[in-house]
Each structure stands twice: as C-alpha cells, then as structure tokens.
Amino acid sequence: MKETQTIQKTYNTAQTTERISGSEAIVRCLLEEGVKVLYGYPGGAIMPVYDELYKYQDKIHHVLTRHEQGATHSAQGYARISGEVGVAMATSGPGATNLITGIADAQIDSTPMVCITGQVPSHLLGSDAFQETDIVGISTPVTKWNHQITKASEIPEVMAKAFYIAKSGRPGPVLIDITKDAQFEDFDFKYEKCTGIRSYKPVPETDKSSLAAAAELINNAKKPMVVWGQGVILGEAEEEFKAVIEKAGIPSAWTILGASAIPTSHPLNIGMVGMHGNYAPNVLTNECDVLIAIGMRFDDRVTGNLATYAKQAKVIHFEIDPAEIDKNVKADIAVLGNAKTSLAEILSLIKPNSHTEWHQKFKDLYDIEYEKVIKSDLHPTKEGLTMGEVLKEINIQTKGEAAIVSDVGQHQMIACRYAEFNKTKSNITSGGLGTMGFGLPAAIGAKMAAPEREVISISGDGGYQMTIQELGTIFQQKTAVKVVVLNNDFLGMVRQWQQLFFDRRYASTEMTNPDFVAIAKGYYLNAKRVTKREELASAVEEMIASKEPYFLEVCVEKEDNVFPMVPSGASVSDIRLE
C-alpha cells in the first residue's frame, strides 16, 4: 500500500522536475498519455522497462502475447474499436522485426499505434551486437514517424511527439527505439504533452470555395453516388455524414474499412464497392454523373482498372491527407480537412433531394444479385454449409450489435458482405495489407477495449493458424472473445483464383488441418465443431450466451466461391456474378 501511494504521488507531480531513470520515464510517459493497456513480449534489451512496469501494474495492464506480431494486431484492434492509440512493446532484434507486419498493416489502414522497442547499448550500435537490428531503418517505409533514443533526457519529448503524431490528422503507427543505456540512465524528468510540431499540419484548412463548388455539383447532379471510407469513422463524422446523405438523398456505398459508419439497414446504404462488393454500386460507379468520395483513397481493389473507372463522372474528394488527392483518381474538386468539419459546413449548402429514379436502378440491380448470389449464400439448398449462412445466424443471435473482427480471405469478404452492423466501429479487418493472421489477436485487443460489446473473430482455417498461438493469450487473460473458424480445408481465396484463372490447378492450397477443437480445449477454452446445418443455430446460440471465451469451428463447403467478383485488372462494370 505504501508503494502504491508513492507511485500515485510521483505520477500526479509529473509536471515538476524529478530525477528518475529512463525506463521509469517511459512508463510515466505512458501514464501521462492515458495508456491503460499495453501489449508486448519482454526480452533483454527492453527488460529495464518491464522492471518498471512491474511496479506500475495497478495502473497499466500489460498483456503478454504469444508473439510480437500478435502484440501489434492486438494494439490495432484496441485502437480501431476505441479510437485511442494502441501500444505495443518488444525487445531488440527479432522482437522488433516481428512487429513489422503489424506496423505495415497499421500504416496502410491509418491505425494510431505507438510501438516501443528496446535496443542494444548505444556504444554497440553498428557493431552487429547480439540481437542488434536497425529497426529504425527497417521500419521507416511503414511508419508515420520513427526515432531512436540514445539519451534518457530525450524520452519525454520524443514520447509526447510519438502519441501526438500517431493520433493527429490521418492516424498511423510510430516506432520509438530506445537503447538499453538510455533506459538505465537517470535524468531530471518533466513531461509536457505535445500539442503541435513546427512544419507539421495534421489537418489542412478547408477551403470555403471548394465547399461551395462541391455543393453546386451535388445540387445539380442527376445521378450522384457517394463512396465513403474509414475517414468518416476516424474523423468521428458519422452523424454529419448521415445528415448530408439524408438531406441530399444520395445512394451511398462503402469500402470495407468504412463499413458500419451508418447501419447496414439504412435506406441510403447501397452496399460495398470493390472486388467482392455488391453488384449495383460497382456497375453504377460507371454510370453516376457525380462521384463523391469521402475519407477513402481509391484503392485498386475499389477501382479496378483505373483507365475505365468513373470516367463519365465529376469527382469530389473529401480527404484529410493531401497526398491522396489525385494520387489514383483525378479529383474535379478536392475538399481538404477533417470529414467531421467539412461535412458539417457543407450541410447548409446542400439542397434537399430524393433521386427516386436513380435509387430504383440500384434496387433493380440488387434484385439481380439476390437471385444469382445472395439467395444461395444465405438460403442454400445444397447439403453443405455455406459461409454466408453462418454470418446470417450470427446476425440473428447478436441482432447486428456485435463487433466482427475478420481475418483475410474468402471468409473476410463474406463477413463484410453479410454481417449486419448497427453500431459504428463494428467491422475490424485488415484492409490495405491483407494480413492473414490479423483476426484472432485483433479481436483480443478489441474485446479488451470494449468489454461490454460482443466481439466475434471470424477466420478461415489458413489465416487462423498463422496466429493460433494467441489462444494462449485469450486463456491467460480470460478475454471473452468468441472465435469462429470457417473451415473449408483450403486457402480458399487463392483456390478460387486457381479455379477461375488457372484451370483448377490447386497448387499448394489444400490444407491438412489439425483437430482445432482439441487444440482449443488444450488451451482450456470451451469449444465445439459444427458439420451439419441442423447443429448451427444451437451452437451459435451457445457461443453467444457464454460469458467466457468460446471457440466454434464450422465445416463449410470446400469449393464455394465468393461472388460477385471483379477480376483483377478488369473494370468495375465487368463484375461477374458467377
């Protein structure tokens, strides 16, 4: 108790100068930034920080993941559902390099994350010392900012900058590498939060003339269409976005990271664009007269062949990052700034509209997609289970209130297509990097950030085995994640391409899988396998009712494909339904 009181006192007086070690300073900086949960894996070069964390375990909960990659994905899941900065920590050498996949994933998906790595003592830098790796050089292409600390006195300023940069403007990952001698060194500690950096302007000023020009285009459009991305969610602009599209009556489609900004059932929500998106928004992208992109970056999976993408349309691009303007698609009008601010400002300039005939086109094409694809996905007549009916049952049992954390592959596309999202920040997945193994550890972070929410991890049998060891983290932390594996004994997405484009030469895609239920039970988790349709509803009901972690394996059809599909390099209007 005496030690706890001392810790509280020193923390509350952080604005006064106080002589402490670099390692304690790191922990105190985390406390000043409001960090409550930290994911990591200890080792020699970061051990002084772990020793200090031991003293502060009543204030920061450290989660020992089973692999450093799991730490980054857990930090991502934590950040994506909370809107706060996720934090991961590792030692030097392989510990640091094992963070890179998660850092790259966070960079391309704009996830705020701070990674702290230990480093060999400064006098050994460049000597190829044991577990020395140039992690600053390695991580430079995949971080928003990185920095190596060799003196303890640098720690407060650099840590404050790290959190400010990670969260401000377009978010992203930051890596701070700290030599071991800097962790041991004593110095006079004082912490001041960073509120600005010279020459760094995270939010560009919105030009009033651009807003007026955009509003004029929208008001005069006969066939307007919105495509929104994660920028709406990151900017906390959901209400402003909904107000704009409802006033203008514009059919609105989403990228996979934009899903859940408005409910799935919203009448203006016309579905997902992209390679496995819905038929209507993909086809009609090449018929609209005004295309309004909000907080999205025209990824190649969304646009297909750029030479044929929306060439007939005037393009309005709402974007916080100036580097995204004209990068892939030329914008006729660019509206720079935070989506929350710019959408609020344009609302008064927009005239009410309904676009009834234009909406009917989307409905007609949806009917075609329903008959050719959706009906058989959700209401199959064949004997084997489909991935779609598993998602349908989860929707029924959760009433669309769950956060769905998906891995990468066919199951990811099915989850994005068929999960019902009634709350924002409900679709957590790896978008730009497409990282297999993301789902399970990200679900751990999401559940720890939002313990009141039902968090369901959806994985395929391939990606699941890339981070299966994180079942140990779930067991040790008692994190009530619900883990669903859709098992088709294949690397399903690659197999689909081999079937369609490589004459069914299934090279290295069929998997001989272990007993997943036995493995889950080996980690002392409740577990069940479903092989028949009549078993599905009761198994999902049992899973959702459980207050503890639960593993559910559903054996689905081995050679089911995900349609619609825009073939690689094709136009979005050439989308295939079969």
Model pLDDT for residues 503-548, shown as the tens digit of each residue: 999 999 999 999 999 999 999 999 999 999 999 999 999 999 999 9
Claim to verify: residue 130 and residue 242 sit in the same structural domain: no
Per-residue pLDDT tens digits for 79-130: 999 999 999 999 999 999 999 999 999 999 999 999 999 999 999 999 999 9
d(CA 134, CA 142): 14
Whether residues 177 and 259 share a domain: the answer is no
pLDDT at 1: 33
Residues known to be catalytic: 68, 130-131, 180, 493
* Same domain, residue pair 449 and 544: yes
What is the distance between the alpha carbons of residues 228 and 101, in angstroms, rounded to a whole number?
26
Six-digit token string for 211: 């807003």
Q: Could you tell me if 348 and 386 lie in one domain?
A: no
pLDDT of residue 15: 58
CATH of the domain at 128: 3.40.50.970
Kindly state whether residues 428 and 455 are assigned to the same domain.
Answer: yes
Q: Are residues 435 and 494 in the same domain?
A: yes
Whether 122 is in a domain gets the answer yes
Residues 353 and 526: their CA atoms lie apart, in Å, by 52
User: For residue 16, what pLDDT is reported?
Assistant: 74
Same domain, 225 and 283: yes
59 occurs within a structural domain: yes
Confidence tier at 386 by pLDDT (50, 70, 90): very high
Instruction: Answer whether residue 434 is part of any domain.
Output: yes
For residue 202, tell me if it sits in a domain.
no
Last residue of a domain, which of 330, 361, 392?
361
The answer to whether residue 572 sits within a structural domain is no
- Element of type H or E holding 228: strand 224-228
15-29, 96-110, 278-292: least confidently modelled range: 15-29
Do 334 and 390 sit in the same domain of this protein? no
Question: At residue 138, does pLDDT exceed 70?
Answer: yes
Contacts of 479 (CB under 8 A, 6+ apart): 444, 447, 448, 473, 549
Q: Which domain holds residue 245?
A: 208-361
pLDDT band for position 7 (50/70/90)? very low
For 77-101, letters b (16+ CB in 10 Å) and e give bbbbbbebbbbbbbbbbebbbbbbb
Would you state the pLDDT for residue 378? Answer: 96
Q: What is the DSSP pairing of strand 186-189 with strand 18-21?
A: antiparallel
Kindly indicate the confidence band of residue 17, based on its pLDDT and cuts at 50, 70 and 90: confident
pTM here?
0.95
Q: What is the mean pLDDT of the chain?
A: 96
Q: What is the DSSP string of 293-356?
A: EES----HHHHBSGGGSSTTSEEEEEES-GGGTTTSS--SEEEES-HHHHHHHHHTTPPP---H
Could you read off the pLDDT of 176-224 as tens digits, one per residue? 999 999 999 999 999 999 999 999 999 999 999 999 999 999 999 999 9
- Of 189, 218, 237, the position where a domain reaches its end is 189
CATH code: domain of residue 256:
3.40.50.1220
Query: Would residue 64 count as lying in a domain?
Result: yes
Q: Which of 9-13, 229-233, 467-471 has the lowest mean pLDDT?
A: 9-13
pLDDT of 438 strictly over 80: yes
